């Protein structure tokens, strides 16, 4: 198995992506979250590439993808979903399963709701779509949504600090199993000039994701996509109730918890990979 690294222009935006596996096999699209990149899938991709065609892009403003200026590109979840939607079309992905994590969840679910006929299955790893899943850790962000002042914006800069990245990677996890490489790379990308303002724009726009939960849930009820939730149960941001809530609209959803934190692949890639392989074999072949 080998991973190929590509960059493709999508409506003038260069999108970097990792690709592995045979393109004639069913495709799995991996969507990362904050503040990371497709690098987070480095241990998962080899477990699935012998059976599936794996595509893992970096979102605009993240990783190796382009980081256009804020006056040239709107850093909203709607717009990033537009770009990734077009990315799948540029690559000619007629149908695919989705792996959604953190920010990747509202992006992927926007695409799924627009094009339900393209989605073969959904794996959500701490990718929330229900109010029950939003923890008190979001309180400072919610204060910014309610009152988007410069003072409330400045109060969120702590979310971009290396100490917070470390917390996201290690809280609720066996820290001795968490490689420092991923968080160090994330800190490098966050420290690029101008990236802080991009991330603060996205924290403000996260309110649009909560507003879209009802639409995502309507999509689940209408389309009944096969869904596997693989959840780090100690996640301080997206708590287990958010995983269990999928059952309300998708009674056949497979919900599995792992004794780790937000970045569950850092410690449980083998276990999660095995769960995904079994789920996909039973749903898409």
**CATH number, domain with residue 195:** 3.40.50.1820
Q: What confidence tens digit (pLDDT) does each residue in 160-176 have?
A: 999 999 999 999 999 99
The catalytic residue among 53, 171, 262, 268 is 262
Q: What confidence tens digit (pLDDT) does each residue in 223-236 have?
A: 999 999 999 999 99
Structural domain boundaries, residue 168: 3-283
Is residue 67 a contact partner of residue 198, using CB atoms and an 8 Å limit?
A: yes
Distance from C-alpha of 191 to C-alpha of 161, rounded to nearest angstrom: 9
Clarify whether 39 is annotated catalytic. Answer: no
Q: What confidence tens digit (pLDDT) does each residue in 96-141 have?
A: 999 999 999 999 999 999 999 999 999 999 999 999 999 999 999 9
Closest by CA position to 124, among listed 275, 236, 234: 275
The proportion of the chain whose per-residue pLDDT surpasses 70, expressed as a percent, equals 100
| Strand 13-20, strand 3-10: pairing | antiparallel
CA distances from residue 38 to 10, 29, 94, 256, 263 in whole angstroms, order as listed: 17, 11, 21, 23, 13
- Quote the pTM value: 0.98
> Into how many domains does the chain fold?
1
Predicted local confidence at residue 187, as pLDDT: 98
Distance from C-alpha of 164 to C-alpha of 169, rounded to nearest angstrom: 9
Q: What confidence tens digit (pLDDT) does each residue in 1-40 have?
A: 699 999 999 999 999 999 999 999 999 999 999 999 999 9
Predicted local confidence at residue 1, as pLDDT: 67
Tell me the CA end-to-end span of the chain in Å, nearest whole number: 20
């Amino acid at each position: 198995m080998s991973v190929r690294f590509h960059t493709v222009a999508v409506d003038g935006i260069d999108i970097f992506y990792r690709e592995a596996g045979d393109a004639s096999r069913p495709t799995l699209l991996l969507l990362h979250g904050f503040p990371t990149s497709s690098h987070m899938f480095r241990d998962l991709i080899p477990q699935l590439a012998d059976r599936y065609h794996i595509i893992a892009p970096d979102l605009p403003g993240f990783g190796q993808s382009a980081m256009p200026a804020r006056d040239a590109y709107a850093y909203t979840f709607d717009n990033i979903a537009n770009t990734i939607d077009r990315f799948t079309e540029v690559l000619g992905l007629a149908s695919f399963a989705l792996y959604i994590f953190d920010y990747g969840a509202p992006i992927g679910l926007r695409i799924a709701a627009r094009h339900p006929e393209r989605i073969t299955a959904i794996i959500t790893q701490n990718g929330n779509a229900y109010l029950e899943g939003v923890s008190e850790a979001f309180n400072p962000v919610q204060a910014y949504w309610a009152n988007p002042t410069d003072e409330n914006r400045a109060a969120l800069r702590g979310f971009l600090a290396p100490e917070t990245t470390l917390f996201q990677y290690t809280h609720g996890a066996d820290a001795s199993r968490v490689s420092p490489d991923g968080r160090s790379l994330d800190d490098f990308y966050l420290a690029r000039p101008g990236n802080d303002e991009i991330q603060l724009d996205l924290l403000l726009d996260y309110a649009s994701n909560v507003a879209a939960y009802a639409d995502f849930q309507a999509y689940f009820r209408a389309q009944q996509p096969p869904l596997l939730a693989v959840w780090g149960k100690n996640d301080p941001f997206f708590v287990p109730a958010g995983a269990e809530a999928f059952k309300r609209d998708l009674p056949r959803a497979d919900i599995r918890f792992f004794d780790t934190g937000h970045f569950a692949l850092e410690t449980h890639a083998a276990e999660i990979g095995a769960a995904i392989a079994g789920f996909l074999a039973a749903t898409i072949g």
